[in-house]
């Protein structure tokens, strides 16, 4: 399965070229118009997304599927999602403390691919009070063992193994094979 993963794009239009993908995953901090243009340019009708800490609280535009705390299946692969980032300021959308994420993920079922705005704690962190991960997400990965976690927020392209799980940080866009 070919996955186009995108995250943290500040432009108002898609400038990432074209191709083909089976699924588009948006890791947040992207306006819907860019997500839809990327899906069109990659002939991709299945779009899963989560919100980032800079996104509005409005619902995604159809046909974008909000994957936050949801599980969806596409061609035999299960996808789950988690919005937001660490609560680094007193107000804003999709800002969570570690306890909230721990409660949500404690009973979240195993999936093949987990889409998250933030990273697991200790993976791709930037120790700047804003760009560090969720401890509960790390615990989830160790418990549920998804094949892949795709995240944004840290503004880096990086790939790390946590156990047997590929943790893939996206800044801009990247093709991922599963």
| pLDDT per residue as tens, the chain (178 positions) | 999 999 999 999 999 999 999 999 999 999 999 999 999 999 999 999 999 999 899 999 999 999 999 999 999 999 999 998 878 888 888 988 889 999 999 999 999 999 999 999 999 888 787 788 889 999 999 999 999 999 999 999 999 999 999 999 999 999 999 9
Using an 8 Å Cβ cutoff, are 125 and 151 in contact? no
Domain CATH for 99: 3.60.21.10
Domain region containing 170: 2-177
Phi, psi (rounded to 5 degrees) for 35 = -60, -50
Long-range residue pairs from 68-77, CB within 8 A, at least 24 positions apart, any chain: 69/104, 69/108, 71/109, 71/111, 72/48, 74/22, 74/23, 74/46, 75/1, 75/22, 77/1, 77/23, 77/112, 77/113, 77/178
pTM of the entire predicted model: 0.95
The count of structural domains within the chain is: 1
């Amino acid at each position: 399965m070919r996955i186009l993963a995108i995250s943290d794009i500040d432009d108002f239009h898609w400038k990432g070229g074209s191709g083909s993908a089976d699924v588009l995953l948006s890791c947040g901090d992207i306006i819907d118009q860019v997500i839809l243009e990327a899906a069109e340019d990659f002939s991709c009708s299945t779009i899963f997304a989560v919100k980032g800490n800079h996104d509005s609280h409005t619902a995604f535009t159809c046909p974008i599927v909000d994957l936050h705390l949801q599980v969806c299946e596409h061609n035999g692969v299960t996808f789950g999602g988690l919005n937001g980032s660490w609560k680094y300021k007193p107000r804003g959308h999709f800002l969570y403390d570690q306890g909230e994420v721990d409660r949500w993920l404690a009973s979240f079922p195993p999936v093949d691919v987990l889409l998250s705005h933030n990273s697991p704690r200790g993976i791709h962190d930037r120790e700047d009070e804003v760009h560090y991960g969720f401890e509960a997400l790390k615990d989830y990965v160790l418990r549920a063992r998804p094949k892949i976690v795709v995240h944004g927020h840290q503004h880096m392209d990086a790939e790390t193994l946590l156990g047997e799980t590929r943790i893939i940080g996206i800044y801009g866009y990247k093709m991922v094979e599963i």
